[in-house]
Amino acid sequence: MNASLTARQRARAELTREIKAEARRQLAEVGAPQLSLRAVARQLGMVSSALYRYFPSRDELLTALIIEAYDALGASAEAAGDPAAPVRERWRAVCHAVRRWALDHPHEYALIYGSPVPGYRAPEATVGPALRVPLVLGALLQESLTAGNGAAGGAGGSSGPEPPLPPVLAAQAATVAAAIAPDVPGPVLVRTLMAWTQLFGMISFELFGQLVGSADPADEFFGFAVEAMADFIPVR
Amino acid sequence: MNASLTARQRARAELTREIKAEARRQLAEVGAPQLSLRAVARQLGMVSSALYRYFPSRDELLTALIIEAYDALGASAEAAGDPAAPVRERWRAVCHAVRRWALDHPHEYALIYGSPVPGYRAPEATVGPALRVPLVLGALLQESLTAGNGAAGGAGGSSGPEPPLPPVLAAQAATVAAAIAPDVPGPVLVRTLMAWTQLFGMISFELFGQLVGSADPADEFFGFAVEAMADFIPVR
DNA sequence: TGTACATCAGTGAACGCGCGTTCACTGATGTAC
DNA sequence: TGTACATCAGTGAACGCGCGTTCACTGATGTAC
């Protein structure tokens, strides 16, 4: 499929990949704030100014790495679990895949879910890749609902009545639903947002050291919470 | 109470405070990675080497700021709500106080709950201050229990039976309980750990921009989730 | 198929910057007798 | 109370470092006729 490309174009694509790969390697070692264009160039045996043929600035290289990280995490969430398995089992698989990826790529995780790099503003192009994990969750919800076995019930199996959503939140839920899971009612969607924040909250706490002294190692805590969240959303 | 101090000692204490205050000011502006000893000294009208009479290194200054941030957040959690009010109302007040502080001090929040500064390792001295918020939550739980009105019931008001804790998690829960809320049973404590991770997960997502496009602004979402968490723990 | 010109990748030197930290020093504050 | 010495705060210069980015250049690759 490179048949129609000139040697120059192929070389360019190749080197662009190599630059990103080397940058990712260094990111994994030293973290985003310390990532240096000059070090990347040095490692590739180039002079630092040569990188400017490929990325117009350090920020653009960072952006490329952010997109790659979102894509890698999104891909592992999408690939998680047997598509034929029950929804709940896939929920479990997705959560564990997300955590697995984060533990395996702590600096890349920090790049996308940690504190923003000061002075850096994420451009539009990162929005799509960032949505891949939420889209996976939305698809699970939607499927859970149309299979007629859950995702529309009361609050987490509670006996009490569902509390109504306040107006702004109801509108936000409707917008999200329209984008990722059209048939899912607002309250279920809001509970999913909660589970989403909790999923990443747990992973961040584990990775950033807040669980030291309590739920560390966090494997069982995480597994237990994943089940509880499934009950809470609910996903069946 | 400074009566027994020499002028030198008073001047030293004073300047130490001023250095930290100026560092905090700059932290709020540029974030931790960009915080510079030289800039702090410059702003105080000192020569940069003079700071070394007060802090042996940049890392020590960062440590002082981390401790101050944990203490400030802890203090506002401790001060939240009317001590005579019902536990559930105080739970609400604590959650909202924590969020308020985070929104008002985003860079300080990022310093303690964001991605770790690469190469920096938090020393022992930060552990105590970091525990203040969890201690507040533990005290609420304990009180909720001894008041005999909650915190010992089934899973979040569910009708089903309580799932048992896996062994490692049960042991971790027991350790935490011993430290902050001795009479609270393991399952309730684990649900509190979950609520804790969720509380900070929501705040981090809001602050770090992950909610843009869904629950943003997050006021109603946050308020709704706080109630749901109270039901889930349960705190009454 | 061959030649003339245009495009582009990579070089090497330089600009301008700011950083953390060390060190020998001066002069003021504190202490012991 | 006064003097001699010790302690300590702050200075100013310097070390050594690495960074992102620009720019004029050479030489190779690609294109048009």
Task: Tell me the per-residue pLDDT of A44-89, one tens digit each, with 9 for 90 and over.
Answer: 999 999 999 999 999 999 999 999 999 999 999 999 989 999 999 9
Which one is predicted more confidently, A183 or A149? A183
8 A C-beta contact, residue A111 and residue A27: yes
- pLDDT over 70 at B57, yes or no: yes
Contact A198 B201 (CB under 8 A): yes
Tell me the average pLDDT of chain A: 92
Assign A121 a pLDDT band (cuts: 50, 70, 90).
Answer: confident
- pLDDT over 80 at B48, yes or no: yes
- Measured CA to C1', what is the nucleotide nearest A51? C10
B54 touches chain A (CB under 8 A): no
8 A C-beta contact, residue B176 and residue B193: yes
What mean pLDDT comes out for the span B131-150? Answer: 87
| CB contact residues (below 8 A), chain B span 211-230, against chain A | 213-217, 219-221, 223-225, 227-228
Residue A57 contacts strand D, CB under 7 A: yes
What mean pLDDT comes out for the span B150-158? Answer: 47
Closest CA to A130 of A70, A185, A75: A70
- Tell me what pLDDT residue B145 has: 86
Residue reference for tokens 């809470």:
A232
Residues of A in contact with B172 (CB under 8 A): 214-216, 220-221
Contact B156 A160 (CB under 8 A): no
A152 touches chain B (CB under 8 A): no
Determine the residue of chain B that is closest to A34 in CA distance. B118
CA distances from A159 to A154, B134, B166 (A): 8, 30, 26
B31 touches chain A (CB under 8 A): yes
- pLDDT over 90 at B64, yes or no: yes
- Tell me what pLDDT residue A51 has: 98
Q: Give the bases of strand C that a protein CB approaches within 7 Å.
A: 8-14, 18-24, 29-31
In angstroms, the separation between the Cα of residue A96 and the nearest Cα of chain B is: 16
Which one is predicted more confidently, B3 or B198? B198
The SS3 assignment for A158 reads strand
- pLDDT over 60 at B1, yes or no: no
* Residue range B81-99, pLDDT digits in tens: 899 999 999 999 999 999 9
- pLDDT over 60 at B154, yes or no: no
Q: Which long-range contacts (CB under 8 A, 24 or more apart) does A175-181 make?
A: A175/B214, A176/A138, A176/B214, A176/B215, A179/A138, A180/A131, A180/A134, A180/A135, A180/A137, A180/A138, A180/A139, A180/A142, A181/A138, A181/A139, A181/A141, A181/A142, A181/A145
A208 touches chain B (CB under 8 A): yes
Percent of chain A scored above 70 by pLDDT?
93
Assign A161 a pLDDT band (cuts: 50, 70, 90).
Answer: low
CA B96, CA B51: separation in Å to the nearest integer?
Answer: 37
Closest CA to A115 of B105, B75, B220: B105
Contact B168 A219 (CB under 8 A): yes
> Cis ω on the peptide bond leading into residue A106 (within 30° of 0)?
no
Closest CA to A191 of A159, A131, A231: A231
* Residue range A105-118, pLDDT digits in tens: 999 999 999 999 87
- Tell me what pLDDT residue A1 has: 45
> Cis ω on the peptide bond leading into residue A217 (within 30° of 0)?
yes
What mean pLDDT comes out for the span B158-170? Answer: 81
- Tell me what pLDDT residue A149 has: 55
Contact B220 A160 (CB under 8 A): no
Residue A49 contacts strand D, CB under 7 A: yes
Q: State which amino acid sits at residue A195.
A: A
- Tell me what pLDDT residue B162 has: 76
Which pTM does this prediction carry? 0.94
Determine the residue of chain B that is closest to A33 in CA distance. B33
